[in-house]
Amino acid sequence: MNKFLILLLFLGAAASASAQTRAPAPASAAPPANPTPAQASPLDGEWKGTSDGGSCNAPLEYQLTIESGFVDGSAYDTTARGPVPNPSKAAPPPPGPGLWQIHGVARSGGTFTLLSVASVKGTEHRRIQLTARSDGGGLVVTENGGCRRTARLARG
């Protein structure tokens, strides 16, 4: 028993000695006192407008926000309607997408592309690439597929 206590005392002393010789933990990297703001883009701001109907005869209302060149927004179909009674018992037409989410990076010189993803039910997945360009004081957004609508947006 005496040997066990001596061994325990020896191990405790060795553990405390090794803990004292360890290097201190590195200080956490604190954020700089004055973080650098993101570079502003000349296209920054709120953009709103309506597209033509395109080949689908369904205009979209656009609402885009550009902040530091990053584009985030939506477009919705003003003609989209919810379910209606079907007295003929025929198969209803497939619903078209009523809401599109738009994302991308804006470039002040020339054209830039945006990705538009439809909000639809089920497993259907719709994506359309958009092309946008600055036109005077406005922004022109054109669908590269689908209905091929063109929208003229103004700062709002």
Q: What is the mean pLDDT of residues 41-55?
A: 91
Mean pLDDT of the chain: 80
Give the residue with greater pLDDT, 123 vs 95: 123
pTM of the model: 0.66
The CA-atom distances, in angstroms, between 88 and each of 20, 84, 91, 92, 94 are: 86, 12, 9, 10, 16
CA atoms of 118 and 116, how far apart (whole Å): 7
pLDDT for the residue 46:
96
Q: Which of 56, 53, 73 is nearest to 114 (CA)?
A: 73
CA 100 from centroid of its chain's CA atoms: 12
Distance CA 75, CA 64 (A): 8
pLDDT score for 145: 86
Domain ranges of the chain: 45-80+96-155
Q: How sure is the predictor about 4, in pLDDT bands with cuts at 50, 70 and 90?
A: low
92 vs 86: CA distance, rounded Å: 7
The residue ranking higher by pLDDT, 86 or 56, is 56
DSSP secondary structure letters along 125-140: --EEEEEEEEETTEEE
- Residue 65 Rama label (left phi>0; alpha psi -120 to 50; beta): beta
* 56 burial type by CB count under 10 A (0-12 exposed, 13-18 middle, 19+ buried): middle
In the structure, what pLDDT confidence band is assigned to residue 26 with cuts at 50, 70 and 90?
A: low
